[in-house]
Structure formats: C-alpha cells, structure tokens
Amino acid sequence: MTVSTPSLSELLRLDDGVLPAACPSRVVLDHVTSRWGVLLLVALSDGTLRWGELRRRVEGISEKMLAQTLRVLEADGFVRRDAQPTIPPRVDYSLTDRGREITELLIPLMHWIVQHAEDIVGAGD
Amino acid sequence: MTVSTPSLSELLRLDDGVLPAACPSRVVLDHVTSRWGVLLLVALSDGTLRWGELRRRVEGISEKMLAQTLRVLEADGFVRRDAQPTIPPRVDYSLTDRGREITELLIPLMHWIVQHAEDIVGAGD
DNA sequence: CAGTATCCCCGAGGATACTG
DNA sequence: CAGTATCCTCGGGGATACTG
C-alpha cells in the first residue's frame, strides 16, 4: 500500500537530480514559500476572507507585504480577488482551484510543523 | 475515502484561526521554507550526499549559504552531518528521521510545482 | 475599508580570498 | 575537499502618511 517515496530524480524526471537554477519552478517555489505566501494561502484555506480579516489572521504582516504577496499569488492564479464597487469598499479573497490544490499540500506541512515546532526550537536553538 | 481537508483552525486547534507571530512554528517554517532549505532537503531525499555533490545539485547556491543553511537544518535535527577525519576530508550529509518526515511532505509540493510551473509563470508573469 | 506612496534600514545573501 | 572569513550590495520588508 505504501509506495515508497520515489526519488526526486524519478519524480522530476531529472537524470542527474539537478534542478536548474534558471527554471520556472524556482520562481513558483519562491512565491509559494515566500515569507508570507504559505501563511496567506493556509489562512485562505478556511474560506473567503476580507482584507482586514487576512491582516488580523496573519499576525505581523504589514500592509505593504499583504498587498504585495496577494498580488503575486493572484498573478500566479492561486488567489481570486473580488472587489465590490461599494462605499466603503469590500474586497474578498479566496483560493482558486489551483490555489486549493497547492494549499492541500501546504496544510500537512504546516500541521507537521506546528506539532513539532516546540521540540525543534526547544532542543536545538 | 477522501476526508475533506479539515480547516486550519481544526488542524491547529486555534479557535480564531490566528497563528501568533511570536511562535516556534514561525521559526521552523522560516527555516524549512528558507530560500535554500526546501531545495537542500529535497536534494537529500535521494540519499546521502557530500558537500560538493550538494553544491552541484542545488545549482546557484553559494558556499556561504550552503554552509549556513546546512547548519540551521542540522541544528533543527533535519540533517545529519558525518565528517570523516581523513585527508582530504570527506563529509556526508543525510536526512535524519525527522528530516525524512518533513521531506516526505515537501516532495509532493515540489512535484506539483515542477509539474505546473510552466503554466503559472507562462501565463501570469 | 482597502488599499497606495514614500522613505529608509538592516540583514540575507553573493563574490572573493584564504585554510586545515 | 570542505569549509571559514571578510567585504559589500541590493532589495525585502517595516513604518508612516496619505487617498478614493
């Protein structure tokens, strides 16, 4: 049942295991694993959130980085932005299908980290 | 069969969905998703590698960042360092059990990214 | 409310040279 | 070979003020 994890080379079909530096995946990896990228995607996995809600959920993020990271994630097609032309404005952010795909891979990671973080920083740091 | 992904709040047992800023998980998340962290861990998933092999595999990494990132990953208990006291020296790096655990969550992520990267940067960037 | 615009700083990270 | 030491740059990212 447990298919032993295939090697990176097999998974990526690299015959030498080298992932080139100039490579689209590096760009996407950087976007997703950017300082605030993971946190925003994971926050949105709970459902649609407004700008202000996102700010509060992802504690510590500045307005600048919230805007910037959201723009990148939107450009990559991970996040959908719905702006109501009302006064005052209301903007909803949610995951696209693509965003949900990658977030489903991110959640187990976050989960593992949250479970083990204490042991890790407690012992070594 | 498919258990629908539980919400972040459920997974993390946060009643408000807010992941605090001052929190060990943030530190570990930063280490793992650091610029070179993912790439190194994933490279080591293929098995033990020597310093020079790692440098070549993770194309673009400088010696400084290789050393620095490896030290962090070692301190976190993800990576084991085996130094043979020979001349010339030989140092082997491999994943610990803990390293293998988290890498098994990283591989699907990398895999997804490599599969979809072209579409993503091709269309939006 | 949901952003943009600006200024500015610090440290991540690269280049280079050196060493056991 | 497997690093360390040093210098230096560039841009990530915070603080603050302003706007439709």
Instruction: Note the pLDDT tens digit of each residue in A50-108.
Output: 999 999 999 999 999 999 999 999 999 999 999 999 989 999 999 999 999 999 999 99
Decide if A32 contacts A38 (C-beta within 8 A).
yes
How does strand B49-50 pair with strand A79-84?
unpaired
Please, which pLDDT band fits residue A23 given cuts at 50, 70 and 90?
A: confident
- Residue B109: closest CA among chain A residues belongs to which residue? A105
Residue A84 backbone phi and psi in degrees, to 5: -85, 130
Q: Residues B5-14: what's their mean pLDDT? A: 62
Q: What is the mean pLDDT of chain A?
A: 89
All protein residues with a CB under 7 A from any atom of strand C: A 50-52, 63-64, 67, 81, 83, 88-91, 93; B 34-36, 60-65, 88-89
Please, which pLDDT band fits residue A1 given cuts at 50, 70 and 90?
A: very low
Q: Is the pLDDT of residue A125 over 90?
A: no
Weakest-pLDDT range from B46-50, B51-55, B59-63, B118-122? B118-122
- B50 CA to D8 C1' in angstroms comes to 30
Cα separation, A100 vs B79, whole angstroms: 30
Span B59-78, pLDDT tens digits: 999 999 999 999 999 999 99
Q: Which residue has the higher pLDDT, B7 or A66?
A: A66
Nearest CA to B29 out of B16, B38, B17 is that of B38
Weakest-pLDDT range from A5-9, A31-35, A112-116, B13-17? A5-9
**B101: which chain A residues are within 8 Å (Cβ-Cβ)?**
112
Q: Which residue has the higher pLDDT, A57 or B123?
A: A57
- Residue A16: closest CA among chain B residues belongs to which residue? B57
Please, which pLDDT band fits residue A13 given cuts at 50, 70 and 90?
A: low
Length of chain A as a residue count: 125
Span B16-29, pLDDT tens digits: 778 888 889 999 99
Q: Is the pLDDT of residue B112 over 90?
A: yes
**B32: which chain A residues are within 8 Å (Cβ-Cβ)?**
109, 113
pLDDT at residue number B19: 80
Strand D nucleotides with an atom less than 7 Å from a protein beta carbon: 1-6, 12-17, 20
Q: Residues A25-53: what's their mean pLDDT? A: 95
**Element housing B50 (H / E):** strand B49-50
Q: Closest nucleotide to residue B51 (Cα to C1')?
A: D2
Q: Is the pLDDT of residue B57 over 70?
A: yes
- B63 CA to C19 C1' in angstroms comes to 15
Query: Is the entire prediction scored with pTM above 0.75?
Result: yes
